[in-house]
Amino acid sequence: METNKNLRQGAIFGAGEINPYGQFFTGDTYLKLLADSPDGQVGIGTVDFEPGARNNWHIHHDGYQILLVTAGHGWYQEAGKPAQALKAGDVIVTREGVKHWHGAQADSWFEHIALTAGTPEWLEPVSDEWYQAL
């Protein structure tokens, strides 16, 4: 089991701020913006999740998201598919229009870099019942 003792300093890219999109998340998460592509198409940031924290189901429209996992242990799930356990070094590509969520495992903090293009549509939370059944 990994603790969240390093959560506020991050694994590599330093401390993030309290996630300004927190209304679309369950539990505490932190966001650090790293860069925007010069063409304005791709935003890059790191997200740190406390143990048990996760985002709502959501869809990326007119774009995509790529996750580069940098620390801890997490979950990624697309609607209609089994949840996939994530660890440092894993890479996830989410295509346009795919309903999904991602977040920490219950007993571990979790950190990923996210490259995001397009506009997210935020949907319902991942319920405690759903999450605890993983």
Residues that bind a second copy (CB under 8 A): 12-14, 34-35, 37-39, 41-42, 44, 64, 66, 68, 70, 88-89, 91, 93, 95-96, 113, 115, 117
Nearer to a second copy (CB atom), residue 33 or residue 134? 33
Q: How far is the CB of 32 from a second copy (least distance, A)?
A: 10
Nearer to a second copy (CB atom), residue 84 or residue 127? 84
| Contacts (Cβ under 8 Å, ≥6 apart) of 53 | 25, 26, 27, 28, 29, 103, 104, 110
Distance CA 33, CA 8 (A): 14
Instruction: Give the torsion sign (CA, 22, 71, 7, 108).
Output: positive
Nearer to a second copy (CB atom), residue 38 or residue 132? 38
Report strand pairing: 91-94 vs 58-78. Answer: antiparallel
CA-derived radius of gyration, the chain = 14
Nearer to a second copy (CB atom), residue 12 or residue 134? 12
Q: How far is the CB of 38 from a second copy (least distance, A)?
A: 5
Q: How far is the CB of 17 from a second copy (least distance, A)?
A: 16
